[in-house]
Amino acid sequence: MASWRLLTCLGVLSAATVHAHGGLMETQSYTSRRGHPEDQLMSFTRGALISRDSGESWRWVCAEAMGYGSWQPESYAWLSGGDILTATGKALLRSRDGGCSWEPSSAFQDAWVTSLAEHPTNDALLYVATGRPAVTNLLYRSEDGGETWKPTPLSREAVFSAVRVAPSAPKRLYLSGWKGYEMYLFRSDDEGETWEDLPQAFTGSLQDAYDLKLLSVSPANPDVLWVRVSSRSTVGSILYTVLRSDDGGRTLTPVLEGDDPLVNMDVSADGRTAWVATYNHFYRGREGESFQKLPLPTGNACVTRVGEVLYACGSTWLHEWALARSADEGTSWEPLFSLREVQGVHECPAGTPVREKCTSLWPQLAAQLGAPLSPSQPDAGTPPDEEAPPKSDGCGASAGSAGLAPLLLLTLMLRGRRRAEERPRLR
């Protein structure tokens, strides 16, 4: 049935152009404000989506207002005080007014900010890693919620790809990095004051692996962590391998391999179940068992655990939801939100970048998504004879999704390859 619907949609949709960052528009990560679950944010192909009412309604923050250019954020930290921060791979962006205005931190100048990590209980304590090739990179610590930053003693001429704080032992930090085909984990047991280098050597099919990246640390055991590496298959395609360490990063064992780029992963509170999201699939691995691919989400995925509930990105264009939650470890999903339900531009005061830059862009995006064009939004940017499209019945064969037709089939077939080229930094 799904294949029939896809072919039908391709046959009836027009060849209009999609004005999106990378083809299909999708959600890419989910976060909620610490201590304020009513405030939620999703990374989106064309900026971000924000809800201030526990997910009842979602509104758009355009990329133009955020000013990140081609360095698209993939995850965010929303502090209890209200500030939102994100590492783009080039800059550390911050919003002090709930997403209406954004500015890059001046603390890092020409350094490329690749990763941001939060302390599990102390909102004021943050870590940032830089990762510009062919220069000396550092790990920075902030003790005032990101207002000021000081370098830790860790300094290497290597690309630092990700920093993580062990949830069950917050003095334990891990950092991943690489220089050419030399790959490292760095470990600190005193909040970054001293460090142990853990060079990683791979054999067999992974002997030429590259681009090591730390994914997650177990919430229950600071010695258990997961990383991923990239490698070439025998036919030249890129493979992505997830590896697990049970000894604090000294040795790594492969647990999942595929040709679909990884997005992120999360782990249950007891550390016994892990979930891995890729661009097209969703996997669950229980203790003592191999990872299994679950039926949903497919075509687009991300995962975040909040307490005992999982939140996942999905694809509006394939199964009609862009965000869902699961209370049974991903076996079944309750749809929460579709991109067709975006309510307009994030409500911001006059004079803010979101109000000034996003308002005129909204009618065009609404038409592409098949979302309602709110009467409160001016009709700038939409031709006079063009009306807001009705919502689709399922596959997107309405005026609002017509722009997806020329790219849909190619995206579904070659998505991994194209996205790997467009977003080499996997968060």
pLDDT tens-digit map of 85-122: 999 999 999 999 999 999 999 999 889 999 999 999 99
Q: Write down the pLDDT at residue 194.
A: 97
Nearest to 77 by CA among 37, 41, 105: 41
The stretch 315-336 carries a mean pLDDT of 97
The stretch 216-236 carries a mean pLDDT of 95
Q: Write down the pLDDT at residue 23.
A: 61
Q: Write down the pLDDT at residue 377.
A: 46
Q: For residue 279, what are the domain limits?
A: 2-341+412-422
Distance of CA 22 to the CA centre of its chain: 15
Within a domain: residue 250? yes
Q: Write down the pLDDT at residue 112.
A: 96
Local confidence band at 143 (pLDDT 50, 70, 90 cut-offs)? very high
CA dist 97 and 109 (Å) reads 23
Within a domain: residue 272? yes
The stretch 206-214 carries a mean pLDDT of 93
What DSSP line would sit under 209-243, residue for residue?
A: -EEEEEEEE-SS-TT-EEEEEEEE-TTS-EEEEEE
The stretch 147-169 carries a mean pLDDT of 97
Q: Write down the pLDDT at residue 205.
A: 87
Q: Write down the pLDDT at residue 412.
A: 42
Residue 177: give its domain's CATH number: 2.130.10.10
Q: Write down the pLDDT at residue 408.
A: 42
Average pLDDT value for the chain: 85
Q: Write down the pLDDT at residue 57.
A: 97
Within a domain: residue 127? yes
Is 50 exceeded by the pLDDT of residue 287?
Answer: yes
Q: Write down the pLDDT at residue 235.
A: 87
CA dist 375 and 163 (Å) reads 44
Within a domain: residue 374? no
Within a domain: residue 386? no
Is 70 exceeded by the pLDDT of residue 17?
Answer: no
Query: pLDDT tens, 351-364?
Result: 999 999 999 999 99
Burial 276-299 (b: 16+ CB within 10 A, else e): bbbbbbbbbbeeeeebeebebbbb
CA dist 246 and 154 (Å) reads 24
Within a domain: residue 390? no
Instruction: Write down the pTM of the prediction.
Output: 0.83
Number of other residues whose CB lies within 10 A of the CB of residue 270: 11
Query: pLDDT tens, 27-86?
Result: 999 999 999 999 999 999 999 999 999 999 999 999 999 999 889 898 999 999 999 999
Beta bridge partners, 411, equal: none
CA dist 263 and 427 (Å) reads 6
The more confident residue out of 422 and 247 is 247
Three-state SS sequence of 65-115? HHCCCCCCCCCCEECCCCCEEEECCCCEEEECCCCCCCEECCCCCCCCEEE
Q: Write down the pLDDT at residue 233.
A: 87
Q: Write down the pLDDT at residue 395.
A: 37
Local confidence band at 223 (pLDDT 50, 70, 90 cut-offs)? very high
- The distance between the two most distant Cα atoms of the chain, rounded to a whole number of Å, is 65
Among the residue ranges 40-54, 144-158, 200-214, 400-414, the one predicted with the least confidence is 400-414
Q: What percent of the chain has pLDDT over 70?
A: 82
CA dist 416 and 130 (Å) reads 26
Please answer whether residues 98 and 73 qualify as being in contact, where contact means their C-beta atoms are separated by less than 8 angstroms. no
Counting every residue written for the chain, the total comes to 427
CA quadruple 61, 65, 67, 73: dihedral, nearest 10:
-10
The stretch 295-315 carries a mean pLDDT of 97
Omega within 30 of 0 (cis) for the link into 297: yes
What tokens does 286 get?
């229980």
Query: pLDDT tens, 180-197?
Result: 889 999 999 999 999 999
Structural domains of the chain, count: 1
Within a domain: residue 369? no
φ, ψ dihedrals at 132, nearest 5° = -85, 130
Within a domain: residue 350? no
